Amino acid sequence: MADATGLRPLSRLLVDSALGRTLTEVGPELSGYAAADVLEASSLHRVAPAVARALASAAQVPAEWSRVLAPARHAQIARHMRAVADLRIIATALDAAGIGWVAIKGPVAAELIWPSVDMREYFDLDLLVDRGEFARAMSVLAEAGLRLLDRNWPLLERSRRAELTLLAPNGTPVDLHWDIAVAPRLRRGFRTDVPGMLARSRRVPLPQGFDVGVLDPEDTLVHLAFHAAQEGATRLMWLADLHYAAVGPTVDWDTIARRARAMRLEVPLGMILDRVQRTLGGSVGTSFRAVGPGPGAWGELARRTDARVRFPGLPGDPHLSGAVYRSARRSLPTSAAVLLRSQVEARRIEARERRRRSPGRPLRLDVPDAGARARYLQWVAGGAR
């Protein structure tokens, strides 16, 4: 049964946990859920560690819940410690080489945005460098002990992705970006400004005793919204990222609106912030609408979709794909065209996969084509979108 806000008990637990609230007891409306269902829903939204934290001192927690949730929290703490250790190695190497860089999401979000590092579940570390320094950054990181995982150079040359994945010495996967818009179609649809982001970035100390480069508060919020939108805004963790980014440091909403317009992101950003406000409370949506556009007609479609099954959705719910958010663009016709194209492409990929068995991660295939590697890196350095 839903509560007064329309949330089902398990969804309410996820929201309260993401907001850092602690439960005093688990009532009968919650205790009827199987532990596997609680873990699956928590993992779906990447808040299993936060749920375990919220229930740590609650009364009447089913023993099976504790058995499956506590390891999720402990595993995230261990991952975070490894990621920070790897980030120290990376920071030392890139700083010594004089390469400008920032860390985005992952450990810096856990350390600098969220209330506690044992709440946000993440599995990798993202770095952003200028594309002119991308090849040198790869070499510097390799010398520091990182191992390249994406080695299918002909596929990289064809796909022109804006990231490569490496593996750091302590086991953290590292996505090295030269643009936050990874696919060429996104770079055509949006106007990212990586040089501007890097120029506006700042150095901040981590509690572990070293400095890292991070985006300024406004670019942090814009980037988190861009990432959430391209992932369909389907995970509660991504909405909480924006909630905490907005309520933590004081952000300038006029600056956010201006940068979103320059990036062609104002409609997706308005939609995402509207969902954040409807889900987690606060005034982020209202704050943005004071200086930027409202969600518009496409945003109204997203609201109606949410009204059928109140976000955050649970495993098995319909409307979990996030296609409406993922396809949001400046105009209604363009948004509809992107949505249709993505649905057609998804069906084409599904049909192709049914016809043949292909490796799960083709970029990880070792195809050491020196010519394709050189052409890809030359193209990246050349500056074409």
Assigned CATH topology for domain 79-215+356-385: Beta Polymerase; domain 2 (3.30.460)
Strand partners, 203: 213
pTM of the predicted structure, to 2 decimals: 0.93
In the three-class reduction of DSSP (H, G, I as helix; E, B as strand; rest coil), residue 245 is classed as helix
Query: Using one digit for the tens of pLDDT, what is the confidence trace for 11-34?
Result: 999 999 999 999 999 998 998 999
pLDDT digits (tens, 9 = 90+) for 271-310: 999 999 999 998 999 999 999 887 788 989 888 888 887 8
φ and ψ of 168, to 5 deg: -80, 165
Q: Quick one: pLDDT at residue 21? A: 95
| Spatial contact of 280 and 240, defined as CB atoms under 8 Å apart | yes
Q: Which residues make up the CATH 3.30.460 domain(s) of the chain?
A: 79-215+356-385
Q: What is the pLDDT of residue 361?
A: 84
CB-CB contact of 11 with 47 (8 Å): no
Mean pLDDT of the chain: 92
Contact yes or no for 150/364 (Cβ under 8 A): yes
CA–CA dist 362, 355 (Å, integer): 17
- The parts of the chain modelled with pLDDT lower than 70 are 1-2, 4, 248-249, 346, 349-359
> Would you tell me the crossing angle of helices 9-18 and 35-44 to the nearest 10 degrees?
50
Task: Determine the pLDDT at residue 319.
Answer: 72
pLDDT at 359: 60
